[in-house]
Amino acid sequence: MTEIQVVRNILEANDQLANDIRNEASKYRFFLINVMSSPGSGKTTLLEKLIPELQKRGVKVAVIAGDITTTADATRLARLNLPVVQINTELFGGDCHLGAEIILPALQKFELKDLDLVIIENVGNLVCPAEFDTGADLNLVVISVTEGEDKPLKYPLMFRVCKTAIINKIDLLPHLKFDVHLLEKNIRKINPQMEIFKCSGLTGTGLVELVEKLYLKINQKNSS
């Protein structure tokens, strides 16, 4: 029996492409946000409120929307008068995340030099997207108050990979037995440095603070 030493990262192909994306983003100086969550946490509704606020501040935005089969999200976002690339991972079944090999060609469909911000709306899933680097400047997780307070403990990799967490649908709190402080505590158990925002994508509550923070980060990159 002979053994050959290999020591190769299983995700090496993805990670190399993620670096290519990082290079594109610094060459054209756009900020790249990867938005992840479980299905139904309100990513699209949140983006529908968030993007116009950024546009009002002069930020030129484009979106890559990942969905397994439909174009519903892309259609909703296209109404905001911005370039959208829809990625359907597969018609039946389909992939569970957007890998760098999918993001890179999608980016190339945009006029990158004209953009300040590209938002990836990843496939709704808290497991797989955390595993595949997209080259994003900011990984952001959305968790809604209709999910469990223990979600962070069940999906630790996701909450470690993300630097920002948005607790969404807070307008529903009066109707629920949901302990936001417990959720925050659980998030911090996994990632004590997590930047946390509490918002409602529907009513717009709490959005100003988030918009300001993102605007700062986008500007830093654009003027770097």
Partner 1 sequence: MHELQIAQNIVKITEDEVRQSDLTQSISAINLKIGKMHAVIQESLRFSFDVLKRERAQLKQAELIISEIPVKIRCRTCHKTQLITEPIFVCSDCSSTDIEIIGGNELYVDSIEYEDQ
Please, what is the minimum distance in Å from the beta carbon of residue 128 to partner 1? Answer: 4
In the Cβ-directed half-sphere of 105, how many Cα atoms lie within 13 Å?
6
78-97 burial code (b ≥16 CB/10 A, e <16) = eeeebbbbbbebeeeeebbb
Query: By CB under 8 A, is residue 156 in contact with partner 1?
Result: yes
Please, what is the minimum distance in Å from the beta carbon of residue 200 to partner 1? Answer: 28
Select the residue interacting with partner 1 from 153, 176, 182, 208 (CB under 8 A): 153
Please, what is the minimum distance in Å from the beta carbon of residue 127 to partner 1? Answer: 6
Please, what is the minimum distance in Å from the beta carbon of residue 14 to partner 1? Answer: 8
Q: CB-based contacts of 176: which residues, under 8 Å, 6+ apart?
A: 145, 146
Which of these, 96, 142, 109, 136, lies nearest to 120 by C-alpha position? 136
Between residues 109 and 189, which has the closer beta carbon with respect to partner 1? 189
Residue type at position 195: E
Whose structure tokens read 């790249």?
Answer: 32
* Stretch touching partner 1 by CB under 8 A, among 58-66, 70-78, 141-149, 153-161: 153-161
What element of type H or E holds 216?
A: helix 207-222
Select the residue interacting with partner 1 from 5, 79, 92, 223 (CB under 8 A): 5
Size of site (CB under 8 A) for partner 1: 33
Which of these, 120, 84, 118, 87, lies nearest to 102 by C-alpha position? 87
Select the residue interacting with partner 1 from 132, 178, 197, 215 (CB under 8 A): 132
Which of these, 100, 45, 53, 33, lies nearest to 73 by C-alpha position? 45
Give the contact letters, 157-196, x = binds to partner 1 (CB under 8 A), - = no.
Answer: x--x---------------------------xxxxxx---
Give contact residues for partner 1 (rule: CB under 8 A). 1-13, 95-97, 99, 125, 127-128, 131-132, 153, 155-157, 160, 188-193
